[in-house]
Amino acid sequence: MLALTVLGAVALERLYGGMPPWQQPVTGFTWLVQRVETYGYGPERLPNGLRLLFGALVLAVMLFIGIVITGLLVSIPYLGGILAAAVLALTLRTTEVRASAQAIAQALQNDDLAQAQARLHPWVEHDCGSLDEEGVSAATIEKLLIQSHDALFGALFWFVLAGAPGAVFFRLSLLCAERWGHATPRYRYFGWSAACLAGILRYLPIGLTALGYSLAGDRKTAWRCRRQIGAWSSPGMGAVLAMAAGAMHLQLGGPIHYFQHRVYRPTLGEGVLPIPQDIPRALRLVDRTLSIGLVAIVIGAWLAT
């Protein structure tokens, strides 16, 4: 049953994940997050400790409501399995991620660097105006690999571990962190709980994502690049990028401009700098990793019966 639910959810998301944003239930929750912030943020001059408490309470209430509603839906007799697949499909965002990467790749293939930079800018948190063709390609591949973990592999991990409530808990936590988890004066304390929780939920399955990327490409090189993650600010994300870059024989990482400051990052992987043609290669790497994961879920479900 678990394997059929996962396979059905992945197929359902691929078929209907490209619906307009205003038709997606996740968009409704994003609107709800914004509304809850309006009423739950508290007075502007609230002490930092109370601001942190307000943020934690608001986050807990949002997640509790999401889990309860999901649990009630999947417990409906005869429809629980179908609704679980639908819920899991709603927590996946692969169509959106793939469309963004493909649009940037198409712009680069049309020699329209300005268009590629414009499409990349909303997707990343650093300056894109100074990036050349190789820089845009590298930034797109990095974001694709990381977002595929958040949008696909992380949600599948928590679904297998805790069912539909687990996948919803993971997705809602990330949505709250995207809105509140910033080190800005407004969100430094209010969004601290959301950022910490999202980091924990991401970290647990991230090793499996990195392993999947290595198995989907050059395993020997990817495993050798695993030793590079110690110098990365986030070891989990460093493992994903290093092992994927090694699997593809590419170099990722390097310095970037982050909010008008130049940030020096170590180089990850082995090989050449990315070019536009490597973006479709990265998409195929993600697809192969998904196939490996689905096969593992099917085998695991069969052995458990």
Q: Number of structural domains, the chain?
A: 1
pLDDT in tens, 230-273: 777 788 889 999 999 999 999 998 777 655 667 778 889 999 99
Burial class from Cβ neighbours inside 10 Å (0-12, 13-18, 19+) for residue 77 reads exposed
Q: Torsions phi, psi of 225, nearest 5?
A: -70, -15
pLDDT band with cut points at 50, 70 and 90 for residue 27: low
Provide, rounded to the nearest whole percent, the portion of the chain with pLDDT above 70.
Answer: 93
Are 117 and 63 contacting, i.e. CB atoms less than 8 angstroms apart? no
Q: Torsions phi, psi of 274, nearest 5?
A: -65, 150
- Domain residues for 119? 2-304
Report pLDDT for 16.
Answer: 78
Q: For residue 129, give both structure tokens.
A: 């105006």
pLDDT in tens, 3-26: 999 999 999 888 876 555 544 666
SS3 breakdown of the chain: % helix, strand, coil, rounded to 5? 75, 5, 20
Mean pLDDT of 182-189: 80
Report pLDDT for 114.
Answer: 92
Residues pairing with 253 in the sheet: 267
pLDDT band with cut points at 50, 70 and 90 for residue 48: confident
Are 38 and 16 contacting, i.e. CB atoms less than 8 angstroms apart? no
Residue 209 has pLDDT above 90, yes or no: yes
- Cα(117)–Cα(156) distance, integer angstroms: 31
pLDDT in tens, 84-126: 999 999 899 888 899 999 999 999 999 999 999 999 988 886 6
- Cα(185)–Cα(126) distance, integer angstroms: 19
**C-alpha of 171 from chain center:** 9
Mean pLDDT of 68-73: 93
Average pLDDT, the chain: 88
Residue 28 has pLDDT above 80, yes or no: no
Report pLDDT for 23.
Answer: 47
Residue 40 has pLDDT above 60, yes or no: yes
